[in-house]
A and B are shown apart, each in its own frame.
Chain A
């Protein structure tokens, strides 16, 4: 029994090492001079070559901080949008009765499977007609319209788990739906809201495709598009600074992961989100 446990842990640690090796190697490489990156598969560092970070930070027309800020604005907008609109829709689906609710709920579930590409061309036309291309609006406004059905579904499931007696007692006390939703259910929904916020953060931060088609002016680039521009500008000549900025771009996701682990793991186990 003992040897079995040791074998199992050895296997798991090996898998973990193989999985983490590329990431660790990227961190180490971001602190190495370029010529060493191409000769050193190991992880030891003789001295810290921080120039990669300063070079990378200033390599594009704007300092990299600008792209971090752009991403932060988009992410913040998306989080607020998803929290507000998805929780409103979830309350409606989970607690209120009206004609068409079941059908709407079915449609909502169906949109989970809809490939984004089927709507992307007309959405692009729509947003460009509105004069929104080259602004953050196409990346933020849809979130205020509960287009991320995953989160609506997650919150519906969560609200269904809360006792109905709470609402009924509040109705007795003369509370309306706004108060039931805002003062009774919303505070209890914190775990679902946190899951939504963290996933929205990570997905929006990583989102490349939408930013690629909507943001054409370099001042507005979010981090992923800036990284891509960086590759184009440098060719493959300076992997060190490219890795350095890659690390910078991954840091917020990593921090979100550290702080949100509990919610992330539970959210994915219950709904199968990414």
Chain B
């Protein structure tokens, strides 16, 4: 009994930094932002309660609708695309293959660099009017557009940047593939199942929980993308709003116009959206995620 009590005291003591952080840095600010979302607040004057006005404004805010559309398109295209590339590459990297460590490192490197301002700067040039892509196209006689200055293609360049960082889900897929017993494939081979059949009957079902894990992780991350769009568009979210991600618009409203009430309301909308998507995924997972035993 004496030991247990000492244990409990030690438990809270060791947990103290996290507990303080939880209250001061996480839960407190969450409650505060919930409150601010019902106010008009510019940092200088005290917050003024305006009820649901921020939320009703969202219904009519064309820029917000556009930013939602941009973000949804980005998430819907870049996340599946990146996962497919990651899985395909992981499948190419067999167990016991020569040079595995080398390829793994090369493919992983962009994941670490991809979120940096430097790479966003590089991307802006690569897809610029006189950039690398157009120089290469010129070699085969094609005159390319200014990819980042054209509203039809600007978002696509940022999607490509996201796909380029497929290394981190690839590593997780590789770890998952390693868990699948070789004997399953041998048995399937004896039964005359081809590679395609083996992939759909063995690999994919046994990997489904990892696919799910990667999907959730990438989805949550993609909804919060900011730096790339900010740098590529010079902070404007242009051209013609085509790269105004939701978080970029939130930044413009909150830290550009200091409309902190509206920004807080937007943050809660984002959280609800992410929560909904995560919940839908968890519910849907019942039907396609396979658990052994």
Contacts and interface: CB of A to CB of B under 8 A. Distances in A.
B111 A228 contact: no
A92 B14 contact: yes
B195 to A, nearest CB: 11
B1 interface: no
A169 interface: no
Contact of A121 (B36, B122, B221): B36
Interface stretch (A46-54, A188-196, A266-274): A266-274
A269 B174 contact: yes
Contacts of A117: 224, 247, 250, 266-267, 270-271
Contacts of A93: 15
Contacts of A99: 8
A246 B18 contact: no
Interface string A54-89: 000000000000000000000000000000111011
B30 A118 contact: yes
A270 B109 CA distance: 18
A92 B220 CA distance: 28
Contacts of B224: 115-117
A19 B107 contact: yes
A44 to B, nearest CB: 14
A205 B112 CA distance: 11
A209 B125 contact: no
Interface string B104-136: 111111111101111101110110101010011
Contact of A97 (B7, B117, B275): B7
Given A89-B15, A118-B267, A120-B29, 13 more contacts: A19-B106, A23-B109, A92-B11, A92-B13, A92-B18, A104-B19, A113-B274, A121-B29, A121-B254, A145-B18, A206-B117, A250-B119, A274-B221
Listed from nearest, the 8 A-B pairs whose CB atoms lie closest are A145-B21, A246-B118, A122-B32, A122-B29, A98-B11, A96-B11, A92-B14, A269-B175
18 contacts: A8-B94, A22-B123, A86-B18, A107-B22, A114-B30, A114-B271, A117-B266, A118-B29, A119-B33, A121-B263, A209-B227, A236-B128, A246-B117, A249-B116, A272-B168, A272-B214, A272-B217, A274-B115
